[in-house]
């Protein structure tokens, strides 16, 4: 495994950071902080196409900086909040794809739900410049695995909360460990980005 380029950062100050709506109102990434936001901004371009699991502040953060973003959401209540914000601010470059977990018996363990959620990117088989995985923790490694072929060479896979064992970070490292890596950490290995090799 390659050495990891890691930076220690602090949570932003101001507002109730524990309230998810704070991030939507302020159009900032869920784990947003000055250094991370600044770095992510440097890898974005107004012509970029983005795919995201887990809608919220990051959706609007990207939408303000790229051509278009498709975002997947499993929570019906949260979907309404994000959808209302899209309409209120008249965003035309956000596609909200809902896979409502409440419609599946057994919830997140339902095999049909897991397939619909983790393969959502196949519904929009574009070539993506950025793939951001910040949705259901237990399914993030599957989302990464299923999305790699849709990422352009030179594009980035961004994954939040790599310090959480629940999302099987070792599986993600096995998939992407040889790619160029950038990490931002609150405690250990938090927000992480991997750049797809040009020859991949």
Q: What is the pLDDT along the chain (200 residues), one digit of tens a residue?
A: 333 443 333 434 444 556 667 777 777 775 555 677 788 999 999 999 999 999 998 999 999 999 999 999 999 999 999 999 999 999 999 999 999 999 999 999 999 999 999 999 999 999 999 999 999 999 999 999 999 999 999 999 999 888 888 888 999 999 998 999 998 765 445 789 999 998 76
What ranges do the domains of the chain cover? 19-38+47-195
Q: Which pTM was predicted?
A: 0.86
52: number of CA atoms within 13 Å, CB side? Answer: 26
Task: Give helix 169-176 / helix 140-147 axis angle, nearest 10°.
Answer: 20
Coil, strand or helix at 136: coil
Distance CA 68, CA 96 (A): 11
- Class (C level, CATH) for 19-38+47-195: alpha beta
Distance CA 198, CA 75 (A): 36
């Amino acid at each position: 495994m390659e050495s990891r380029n890691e930076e220690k950062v602090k949570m932003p100050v101001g507002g109730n950071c524990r309230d998810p709506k704070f991030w939507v109102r302020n159009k900032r990434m869920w784990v947003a902080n000055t250094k991370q936001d600044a770095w992510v901004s440097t890898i974005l371009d107004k012509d970029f196409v983005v795919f995201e699991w887990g809608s919220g502040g990051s959706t609007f953060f990207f939408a303000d900086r790229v051509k278009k973003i498709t975002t997947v959401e499993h929570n019906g209540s949260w979907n309404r909040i994000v959808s209302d914000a899209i309409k209120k601010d008249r965003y035309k470059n956000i596609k909200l794809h809902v896979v409502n977990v409440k419609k599946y018996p057994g919830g997140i363990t339902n095999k049909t739900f897991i397939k619909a959620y983790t393969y959502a990117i196949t519904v929009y088989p574009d070539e993506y410049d950025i793939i951001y995985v910040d949705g259901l923790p237990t399914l993030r490694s599957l989302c990464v695995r299923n999305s790699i072929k849709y990422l352009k060479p030179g594009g980035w896979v961004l994954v939040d909360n790599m310090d959480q064992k629940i999302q099987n970070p070792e599986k993600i490292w096995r998939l992407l460990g040889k790619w160029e890596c950038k990490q931002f950490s609150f405690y250990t290995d938090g927000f992480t980005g991997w750049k797809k090799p040009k020859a991949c």
